[in-house]
Homo-oligomer: A and B are copies of this chain.
Amino acid sequence: MTKTSKVLSMQEAISRHVPSGAMVLMGAQMEQMIPFSAGHEMIRQGRRDLTLVGPISDILFDQMIGAGCVSRVMAAWVGNVSAGVAYCLRRAVEQNVPRRVDLVDYSNFTVALALHAGALGVPFMPTYATLGSDILAKNGNLREFSSPVSEEKLVAVRALRPDVTILHVQRADEFGNAHIWGNLGVAVDGARAARKVIIIAEEIVAPDVIASDPNRTLVPGFLVAAVVQDPWGAHPSPVQGYYGRDHAFFTQYHEQSRKLEDFEHWLERWVVRIPDRPEYMNQLGACRSEALGVREHAYSAPADFGY
């Protein structure tokens, strides 16, 4: 085998694979494993005119909107799951601050179906969801049609194929074969629909570890453009088996993003002045990270692939 490693630093991965103007899927696992460290690197590298795609976004989209990286959001929900609204989103949509952002409203299911269509290689997926809603009325990627096999109305959800899907995962090998467990959200279809995948892993492990459980390999390496080892890269969101959700951080962000000036301070302090995730974790403090660590391990029963 002549395979070469796909491991890059976060700086390199974003620099090479996420240009301004790209359609980027993040937050595929919903409130788990949000690739904050990748989003922060995009802010630092000054990306502009991104289209962000995701079912929900638990404050990462809000931060990137506030930083001026985003011109469009295709999502079902943008906010702060445990604390409420997204103030940067509101400023952008209501006042064009720091710049105008177009929102293309989906429901969770229709985001999932758009990616599913992309992953399956068909132009659309049919559903009953959104019939009768203003989501259907206003989103040009949702179109009512008549079922070809029954006397029913259906909605055709047009396929989405992100330029880049960024997934934070528990572990991967250097070739990008990635194990993910816990709730998967739209991670599987999100990766397979994408033109490129970037894997951010808590751990890079030997290929044998990944190959020991091919049913957990939800992203095969041949779809992956880059692998970044970035422990704690999902903080303040949780990574099952690695660290918990930093609820207080979300609440603090809520308060500190309410006013534009406060948000700008927050961004300076937590993103702009920070070179990378190790430094971010230094700033967060060992006390906080220890409190978020795993207190009780709970290992899966083994599956025997022997013969």
Contacts and interface: CB of A to CB of B under 8 A. Distances in A.
A240 interface: yes
A300 B125 CA distance: 35
A298 B306 contact: yes
Interface stretch (A100-108, A142-150, A251-259): A142-150
A123 B124 contact: no
B241 A307 contact: yes
Contact of A145 (B148, B299, B302): B148
Q: What class of interface size applies to chain A in its complex with B?
A: 35 or more
A158 to B, nearest CB: 5
A299 B302 CA distance: 6
A292 to B, nearest CB: 9
Nearest to A123: B150
Number of copies: 2
A130 to B, nearest CB: 13
Interface string A264-307: 00000000000000000000000000000011111111111111
A249 interface: no
Contact of A307 (B170, B215, B296): B296
A154 B150 CA distance: 16
B126 A123 contact: yes
A173 to B, nearest CB: 11
Contacts of A296: 306-307
Contacts of A306: 241, 294-299
Nearest to A215: B181
Given A126-B122, A181-B215, A307 B152 contact: no
Nearest to A208: B301
Interface string A199-227: 00000010001101101100000000000
Contacts of A156: 147-149
A155 to B, nearest CB: 9
A182 interface: yes
A179 B300 CA distance: 12
Residue picked from A240, A242, A303, most chain B C-beta under 10 Å: A303
Q: Which 5 A-B pairs have the closest CB atoms?
A: A241-B304, A213-B300, A145-B148, A299-B302, A298-B306
23 contacts: A121-B128, A123-B126, A123-B149, A124-B150, A125-B125, A125-B126, A126-B126, A143-B148, A145-B148, A147-B156, A149-B158, A179-B301, A181-B303, A181-B305, A182-B215, A216-B300, A241-B305, A294-B307, A298-B306, A300-B300, A300-B302, A300-B303, A300-B305
Interface of A: 121-128, 143, 145, 147-150, 152, 154, 156, 158, 170, 179, 181-182, 184, 205, 209-210, 212-213, 215-216, 238, 240-242, 244, 294-307
Given A179-B301, A241-B307, 20 more contacts: A122-B128, A122-B154, A123-B147, A123-B150, A123-B152, A125-B125, A143-B148, A147-B156, A184-B215, A209-B301, A212-B300, A213-B300, A213-B303, A216-B303, A238-B307, A242-B304, A294-B304, A298-B307, A299-B302, A300-B305
